[in-house]
């Protein structure tokens, strides 16, 4: 692939211009305009609506390896960002096949109209396998995605914009997708022919710090018996501890953990020092590692999909997980007293840690999935068991995976 290569499609009403000068043509869909972002690929076969509303994708353009995206439409039930009226932060989507009319009884809106309403720029007609191969070879790429119905583009200007975009390293995006004020949560998981339920009186008081939290995380915490209060990403240790919680949850989120960690890490250190049980996911996992003097690194292409095998060293079992991260914890940087608990079987990268002798643990992947398998739901039981132990109560076996 050279900077002069152009991948053509007719008629051209959208382009993806990579920072190396590569121009990919396609048909536009969704919102019009242009946006700079990092391009990554997702290998999940289902759950495109959940993926595109996951706040962890802020600042990114998602290309799907599965060719048929949008074919079952969209609905309000599958949105993962808590604020359903706002965009999650994802800036673009690239797909192969043209968007068909929805063919599912749950559909409430055509995918194209849904993208427009959320301000997401899209393009179809792209050889996404070739694009994925390019990203695997060269790594996640900075780019500009542009959609213009008249097909008129200033390619030179788009190339300059793509090359000038600084990328995700050093970028704090949690503030862009976090809640701005506290709120309570009581919704439970979706059930067939029942929809979502309510469970307002949880046994464990949990404060969840929102760095870009997903709705299904909150639902599984509620399922597990937690009375959840969500605080913004900028919450201090004093803000959290003043709620007198039984445990603290550190959420997923977008951007560079070192950038967000400038204000989040001091809060996390104060929470850990309090002795409370702590459970972190994704960005929360990375910043917990920083809080104990570990290090994080930018990955070559990241992990984005719903079929990632992870080995849990604490149980000796392998689980298939959902992942979405472009940064990772450097396992070699973890100090004495911090144990690596989970490892990716794809590349050996760190996927979990715990503090020896303390009720604190975290994982890199998404145990709540949505989309993805439910193999890792046991981690919510692990969290509540830590709170049970602190109260002197009997723990419940983790093998009962459904919290």
Annotated catalytic residue within 303, 325, 366, 377: 366
Distance CA 42, CA 63 (A): 6
Q: How many residues does the chain have?
A: 403
Q: What's the gap between Cα 373 and its chain centre? A: 15
Q: Are 40 and 58 in contact (CB under 8 A)?
A: no
Annotated catalytic residue within 49, 226, 368, 377: 368
Q: Annotated catalytic, 25? A: no
Quote the DSSP letter at residue 172: -
Distance CA 296, CA 227 (A): 32
Half-sphere exposure of 186 (CA within 13 A, CB side): 7
Distance CA 175, CA 403 (A): 30
Q: Are 220 and 188 in contact (CB under 8 A)?
A: no
CA distances from 89 to 38, 71, 188, 207 (A): 12, 23, 25, 24
How are beta strands 226-232 and 247-250 bridged, if at all?
A: unpaired
Q: Are 9 and 27 in contact (CB under 8 A)?
A: yes
List 296's β-bridge partners, or say none: 329
Distance CA 336, CA 290 (A): 14
Closest C-alpha among 128, 124, 118 to residue 55: 118
How are beta strands 121-124 and 60-64 bridged, if at all?
A: unpaired
Q: Annotated catalytic, 342? A: no
Annotated catalytic residue within 282, 285, 319, 342: 282
Distance CA 190, CA 392 (A): 32
Q: Annotated catalytic, 238? A: no
CB neighbour burial string for 337-351, b if at least 16 within 10 angstroms, e if fewer = ebeebbbbeeeebbb
CA distances from 139 to 108, 128, 284, 300, 301 (A): 36, 15, 24, 5, 5
Which active-site residues does the annotation give?
A: 282, 366, 368
């Amino acid at each position: 692939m050279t900077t002069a290569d152009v991948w053509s499609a007719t008629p051209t009403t959208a382009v993806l211009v990579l920072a190396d000068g590569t121009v990919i043509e396609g048909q536009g869909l969704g919102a019009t305009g242009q946006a700079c972002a990092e391009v990554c690929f997702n290998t999940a076969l289902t759950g495109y609506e959940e993926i595109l509303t996951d706040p962890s994708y802020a600042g990114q353009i998602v290309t799907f390896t599965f060719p048929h995206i949008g074919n079952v439409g969209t609905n309000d039930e599958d949105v993962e960002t808590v604020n359903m009226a706002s965009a999650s932060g994802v800036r673009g989507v690239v797909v192969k096949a043209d968007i068909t009319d929805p063919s599912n009884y749950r559909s409430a809106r055509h995918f194209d109209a849904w993208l427009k309403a959320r301000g997401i720029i899209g393009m179809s007609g792209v050889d996404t396998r070739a694009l994925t191969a390019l990203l695997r070879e060269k790594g996640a790429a900075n780019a500009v995605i542009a959609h213009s119905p008249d097909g008129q583009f200033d390619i030179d200007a788009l190339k300059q914009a793509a090359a000038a975009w600084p990328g995700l390293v050093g970028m704090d995006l949690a503030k862009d997708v976090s809640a701005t004020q506290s709120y309570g949560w009581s919704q439970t998981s979706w059930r067939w022919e029942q929809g979502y339920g309510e469970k307002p009186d949880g046994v464990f008081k949990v404060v969840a710090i929102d760095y870009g939290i997903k709705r299904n995380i909150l639902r599984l915490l509620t399922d597990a018996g937690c009375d959840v209060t969500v605080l913004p990403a900028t919450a201090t240790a004093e803000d959290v501890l003043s709620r007198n919680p039984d445990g603290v949850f550190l959420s997923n989120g977008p951007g560079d953990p070192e950038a967000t960690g400038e204000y989040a890490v001091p809060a996390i250190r104060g929470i850990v020092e309090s002795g409370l049980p702590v459970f972190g996911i994704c960005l929360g996992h990375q910043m917990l590692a920083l809080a104990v003097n570990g290090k994080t690194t930018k990955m070559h292409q990241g992990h984005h999909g719903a079929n990632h095998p992870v080995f849990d060293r604490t149980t000796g079992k392998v689980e298939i997980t959902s992942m979405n991260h472009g940064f990772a914890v450097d396992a070699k940087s973890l100090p004495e007293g911090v144990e690596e608990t989970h490892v990716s079987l794809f590349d050996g990268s760190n996927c979990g840690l715990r503090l020896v002798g303390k009720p604190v643990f975290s994982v890199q992947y998404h145990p709540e999935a949505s989309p993805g398998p439910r193999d890792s739901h046991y981690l919510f039981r692990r969290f509540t068991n830590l709170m049970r132990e602190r109260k002197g109560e009997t723990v419940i076996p983790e093998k009962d995976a459904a919290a």
